[in-house]
Structure 1
Amino acid sequence: MKPFRYYRPDSLDHAGQLTSDAEARAIAGGTNLIDLMKLQVETPQELVDINTLSLGEIADTDDGGLSIGALATNTATAAHPRVRSDYPVLARAILAGATQQLRNKATTGGNLCQRTRCYYFTNIDQPCNKREPGSGCGAIDGIARLHAVLGTSPHCIATYPGDMAVAMAALDATVQITGSAGERSVPVRDFHRLPGDTPEKDNVLETGEVITAVTLPAPVGGKQLYRKVRERSSYAFALVSVAAVVEMDGTRIARADLAFGGLAHKPWHDPRLSELLVGEEPTAALFDKAADLLLEDAQGYGENDFKIPLARRALAATLAEATGAEL
């Protein structure tokens, strides 16, 4: 790990000023950033410890939703009574990720900003456009088992590794951000970026901006499910995950909000799936049509070709459980 300067801001404005330097990084739980610093993937000259700020509150909003502070730990969020009762897909997604020790330290804001676990990104001896723009993508012709099949580009096929944000995408949560230009709100579904020709940019945060909270809308009825398919049931990243918020009206689907992990550079949300499913009776044929739509542009890279049929099966199984349909 290379030497760095360490700061503890006394306000959000102060934190914004300190992180406005391109060589500075904000640190909260440190469960991702410290690892990357040890590997010299990240080599910030300055660390800005935002744990001094009062951003850990989880509180009701005026419209019946829930605000989760950026410094609320994953453990506190998953155990919160309202999350467990009104947003169980979020609790299940958090508990499906990492270990208890990591969840005790990992924060809401940090979880959203975590970086890919691509083998080529974390190995500074390998080419990676995300780590070093213009150096190439070693994964495209290399080891690509965990890599993306949707939204890829010739410059990057890395996946976003988290679980929490996938559930938040299904719930249509909003990220609250503050910076020198003021405050703004960004839907979780738009917070992370696809790689395009700038894979080094993971999300829409600008230099000097800090996440302050994530806001969940008022809860809806129906079932909330999180299905994570991984190589082992303990600590492992998703090969494919599905977060679903599904409500029935008699024998027909009244709501179907779906998001997917393990498939793309960001939590994947396709609004066309809801348009296809709502108003229809749940059947195996309908679920096949949804999978066809979801995966129409999917592209494997050899080792990860299996993800395409795996995503199809995971989607069908999740919808069958949510709707009570028999496959």
Structure 2
Amino acid sequence: MAHATIHMGVTIPQLLRGASRICPAHSTLTVLRHSAFCYCTANGTLKSKRKMDHLERTASNFRQEVISQAKVCGITNESETVKRLRLAIANKDFTFKAGQWVDFFIPGVSVVGGFSMCSSPGLLEREGILELAVKYTAHPPAHWIHTECTVDSEVALRVGGDFFFDPQPGDSPVKLVLIAGGVGINPLFSILLHVADLHGYQEGKGNEYKMGTVKLYYSAKNTKELLFKKNILGLMNAFPGKIMCRFHVTQQSSQICEELQPHVTEGRISEKDLEKHVSKDTLWYICGPPPMIESISKLLSNIGVPTNCVFFEKWW
């Protein structure tokens, strides 16, 4: 997640008790009250040099008050190391903006996860469904998703984050350049789907919105690790000239399939790739590992992109 300054905070059990006034006291939330907690210290500093967890890194970020129970209604393998979850959301007041993340509370697991949505706000509005794509790690929430989570598993979610794209009707159109590294594609894919909705991809959507073009640059080790690639190709075909993508692979060892070949560059995203998009009405969204964020930010500074037009989310 994005690095956040640590402030004095309340524990998750306290927040969950407060949430009981907002959403029903389901059995899942009862268990979570006893299991989930925050590691922030009273003076806002860390007592040891251990790696900060999700709650600490995001302590100063915006969070909604609403905590909703959710039930897993689908699990698929997005890649060899990434599982994609479909979650049915119980609370009708639960909403999010494209690019945001959720605190992910698991019964019996004390560590709280933090995962960006990879679906559009429109899917939640239409079907009550939210999607997450989670890479396997030893971190307890990710490990639980890959080893214990099943269809009908119950969890609880709370939306947070200051990294999002949320245009309003009547806003002047802007061009977007989305730059993703690895699993950092998640919030940017959510933004891409949201733009598609606003372009009128779903019937009845987008009539009041003026949308500019979107160019996605997505870098991974190889094409097997490019998440959502078929979906992205589908969006490009549905919105020619409006939604565009360039895939970058840095350690490709196998032949690239014919369908992907026209859209793949072997090598890192370069200054030359980005400088063609510089304009006064372009916004830049970046999500990926911290070294990539720093490298791309430096490239953008070198080509004259104002810092107030650059938004990023760091995944650790």
Q: Does TM-score exceed 0.5, indicating one fold?
A: no
Query: Which bin holds the TM-score, normalised by the shorter protein?
Result: under 0.3
In the superposition, the TM-score normalised over structure 2's length comes to 0.26
Structure with more strand by fraction? 2
